[in-house]
Amino acid sequence: MANDNYIEFKHVSKSFPGCKALDDVSFTIRKGEIHALLGENGAGKSTLLNILHGVFQPTEGEVFIDGEKVNFNLAYDAIKYGIVKVHQEVNMVADMTVAQNIMLGSEPKKHGLLDWKKMNRQAQELLDKVQADMKPTDKIRSLSVGQMQVLQIAKALFLDAKIVSFDEPTASLSSRETEILFNIMHEMQDKGITILYVSHRLDEVFKMTQRATVLRDGKYINTFNTQDMTKEELIRSMVGRDVSMFARRMKPRCVQSDDTVLEVKNLSVNNIFENINFKLNKGEILGFYGLVGAKRTDVMRAIFGADKISDGEIAINGKKVNNSSPAVAISNGVGLIPENRKTEGFIREFSNSDNIALPALDHFKTRGLQDFGKKKKNGIKYADMVNLKPRDPDFKTFDLSGGNQQKVVLAKWLSTQVDIMIFDEPTKGIDVGAKAEIYALMEQLVNEGKSIIMVSSELPEVIGLSDRMLVMNAGKIVAEIDSSDFDENRIVTYALGGEVHE
Amino acid sequence: MNNKLKSLKNFERELSIAAGIVLMTIIFSLINPIFISWSNIKDIIDQATIYGLMGLGMSFAIISGGIDLSAGSILALVAVILAKMLAAGVSPIIAILVAIAFSAVLGLINGVIVTKMRIQPFIATMATMSLFRGIAYLITGGFPITSMPSAYRKLVYGSIALDMRSSVLILFAFAVITHIILKYTKTGNYIYAVGGNEDAANLSGVKCVLNRNIAYIICAIGSALAGIVLLAKLGTAEPTAGNGYELQAIAAVAIGGASMAGGRGTIIGTFLGAIMLTGLKVGLIVIGVDPFWQYIATGLVIVIAVYVEIVQSNIKNSQSGKKGLFRTGKS
């Protein structure tokens, strides 16, 4: 029985000034299970985890672990208890070594001095356990995001964790890295470690977890055995409405195939990608699929003038252009919605209206000076167009949810009135509802005569939305597929660098 | 009403410095009423002119995500060159214009080292701090250049209405111009954008290199103006002039609410910051405190002012937290 109620949330509420992030949440987690926490962004998953990890204290309610009431005042207390998190925002010291980061805070010592030998040996043992392809002496700076996550797991093992939470662990991982991660999770489970798992990728939830708990708007909805649920049922309980049609085109296609708006010829960037050739037609959504490392983002950055090209040509509306910088590319009618929204999409200190106005400040002048009134009006106009919440033009973009931040970035390019929009991972890390809205907006845009390139690693999304798809592998375009021939297995085979025999 | 409240909220920072200045004035005046005499206020404004001009320029470097440690050396080098020209009989107006143009070149050198050679601003301008100062020594041979023409001194530091000095006009004019540039021009917007997030700014079509260079140039012009005023005030140009002033300028910017990480700060804030710093120094003298205490007081005021800002923005954050629906799940 104790094992059934290993972690027990009892009437947990958490209020922030003016907002109830968690409202009377009660459920239990079994010892040694992988338990998914599901819900849209803002549903309260992170708040709940933060309470478990001692980052927040509940306003009301109690948390029991192993039948014992726990009350962590500091994150450190939770770690000492054996509750560790493996999170996206990696908090490690970039210039220290792998071994130093694992042992940080409990370094082995000899005669009062650091025992480097022991430190590196212990680290190596842990790295072996998680099959990490790195050395204890590697600098954190040189690791990929995937490696860092594996390293966090090694650290969790070092700390002898009893409970580990994973927050969107696979978002930046290649499929191979994901596979390794899943193996490690299973091994951890075999050792009796209880795992909490937050992910937007429902396939993974079905594959990895035994049970799942759904939160919505800070309230507990239900807990169920993942085997007994279908994807549609699950989504419905997350959003409280039916979104089964999501990532699907709702309007008739509108490609004008005789009207090429963008043509890329033999585009190369030394040592990154080579000989990229493709055309984008007016009114088209052109999907770019590939696995992490396929260099799709690099191609887009080169087209947008963010990186220097070493060879090749770009023509827009039949005219050769030299996109030597993003400023030039924008004046040629190209906009880029970057993959890393938070670090590349908007200015943290800026309000929504300022972020939306930034690429085209010349539009907001009165007698030669910047006119705040015009910017705000413009901000409201485009906020409404993308259904931004809140529509307040003075609201800081940084304080919005991921989905709304993405809408601001989108509004920026609508306001700048570019004709070619490059969406790089447009729905990465944003919730189901906002995803559906972004898809609808993309469709609306092509219907209005804009043209879209969509880079995405989410296959259902590329399949559901593209008119045509280019598959990249290791810096090359390996396949071009029309929407009538979309087939999941085939696409993935191409993306993996394999041949398809017809 | 709501709008008015909102616009007041945008000046929260400035209002709290102003409140600090009022508080300081009350305390000093209670101890010694001379503090609010016109001659003393005039004195504070006069002394605030130099740090103020440098601080206004420094705001640009800092908001753009950099810093300019060479500001004091630029002041000295510009003053020395200007003094040489004046001593050679160049007319004051032309000499001043040449000096300002020259400072723009110095600013550009800083900018190029930072943007093209990609050396961190702190190190880059620490190097030019030494470089520019060295050139000033070379030009003068280490001796002061004295006896500036009275026409020049009258122009820049002559008496105007209310017993004030004409240099005050330079300060106010520069404050107005920099305020307009920062708040109401494309360049100003871009400088905030670059300082806030260079990658995002670049991907939004902002010419980052150009705008960072402009920020360093305006910064150097602020130092040059300070040099021009100092030369007229003292009547001599010394290669040691302005030593350490850059730190006072940075302090004024910090008190004014700018973030040393870039992207945040205002001209009004810096202006008030400079007044506060100077008022504090003068006030301590007026109430008869040992001058050594000035250093301690300055240090404390910087810490308190910046801490108040942190507390303010924390309060703001927790207020925006109430709109929790719109925040990311990470909250």
- Per-domain residue ranges of chain B: 38-314
Q: How far is CA B245 from CA B17, B136, B225, B273, in A?
A: 21, 16, 13, 14
Question: Contact B63/B192 with Cβ under 8 angstroms?
Answer: yes
Alpha carbon A39 to its chain centroid, in Å, reads 15
Q: Work out the burial of residue B31: count CB atoms within 10 Å of its CB; fewer than 13 is exposed, 13-18 middle, 19 or more buried.
A: middle
Exposed e or buried b per residue across B108-140, where buried means at least 16 C-beta atoms within 10 angstroms of its C-beta: ebbbebbbeeeeebeebbbebbebbbebbbebb
Which residues of chain A lie closer than 8 angstroms to B188, CB-CB? 370
Distance from CA of B197 to the nearest CA of A (A): 6
Contact B188 A362 (CB under 8 A): no
Distance from the first to the final alpha carbon of chain A:
56
Residue B79, token pair as written in the block: 């003053």
Q: Of residues A447 and A92, which shows the higher confidence score?
A: A447
d(CA A260, CA A279): 6
pLDDT for A332-342, tens place per residue? 999 999 988 88
Handedness of CA B107, B113, B115, B119 (dihedral sign): negative
Contact A346 B197 (CB under 8 A): yes
Residue B250, token pair as written in the block: 């940075």
Which residues of chain A lie closer than 8 angstroms to B323, CB-CB? 18-19, 390, 399
Least confident residue range of A103-107, A224-228, A257-261, B288-292: A103-107
Q: What is the pLDDT of residue B330?
A: 32
Please list, in sequence order, all residues whose beta carbon lies within 8 angstroms of the beta carbon of residue A374, skipping any fewer than 6 positions away. A363, A364, A365, A366
Q: For residues B121-134, give the mean pLDDT.
A: 96
Question: Contact A287/A296 with Cβ under 8 angstroms?
Answer: no
Question: What CATH number matches the domain at B38-314, 2.40.50, 1.10.540, 1.10.3470, 1.10.260?
Answer: 1.10.3470
Percent of chain B with pLDDT over 70: 92
Q: How far is CA B146 from CA A408, B89, B137, B234, B239, in A?
A: 59, 13, 15, 9, 12
Nearest to residue A344, comparing CAs of B206, B160, B87?
A: B206
The pLDDT-based confidence of B328 (bands split at 50, 70, 90) is very low
Please give the torsion angle defined by the CA atoms of residues A485, A490, A494 and A495, in that order, rounded to the nearest 10 degrees.
100
Beta bridge partners of A219: A23, A216
Contact B329 A42 (CB under 8 A): yes
pLDDT for A370-419, tens place per residue? 999 999 999 999 999 998 887 888 888 988 888 889 999 999 999 999 99
Nearest to residue B15, comparing CAs of B320, B304, B272?
A: B272
pLDDT at B176 over 80: yes
Distance from CA of B324 to the nearest CA of A (A): 6
d(CA B81, CA A128): 67
Contact A404 B326 (CB under 8 A): yes
pLDDT at A45 over 90: no
pLDDT for A444-481, tens place per residue? 999 999 999 999 887 888 888 999 999 998 889 999 99
Q: What is the pLDDT of residue B327?
A: 34
Alpha carbon A210 to its chain centroid, in Å, reads 24
Q: What is the pLDDT of residue A501?
A: 58
Alpha helices in B148-197 (DSSP H): 150-157, 167-184, 186-196
**Residue B186: HSE in the Cβ half-sphere, 13 Å Cα cutoff:** 17
3-state helix, strand, coil in chain A (%, to 5): 35, 30, 35
DSSP assignment letter at B307: H
d(CA B257, CA B48): 18
**Residue A143: HSE in the Cβ half-sphere, 13 Å Cα cutoff:** 28
Beta bridge partners of A83: A163
The pLDDT-based confidence of B301 (bands split at 50, 70, 90) is confident
Contact B205 A331 (CB under 8 A): yes
Interface confidence: ipTM more than 0.85: no
d(CA B291, CA B320): 44
CA-nearest residue to A404 within chain B is B326
pLDDT at A328 over 70: yes
pLDDT for A161-212, tens place per residue? 899 998 878 766 777 778 888 888 898 899 899 999 988 777 888 889 999 9
Q: Does A306 touch chain B (CB under 8 A)?
A: yes
Contact A326 B203 (CB under 8 A): yes
Nearest to residue A489, comparing CAs of A429, A479, A428?
A: A479
For β-strands A285-289 and A211-216, DSSP reports them as unpaired
DSSP assignment letter at A306: S
The pLDDT-based confidence of B331 (bands split at 50, 70, 90) is very low
Scanning B236-275 for CB atoms below 8 A from A yields: 259, 263-264
Please list, in sequence order, all residues whose beta carbon lies within 8 angstroms of the beta carbon of residue A8, skipping any fewer than 6 positions away. A28, A29, A63, A64, A65
Give me the amino acid identity at A305: G
For β-strands A19-29 and A34-38, DSSP reports them as unpaired
Q: What is the pLDDT of residue B119?
A: 95
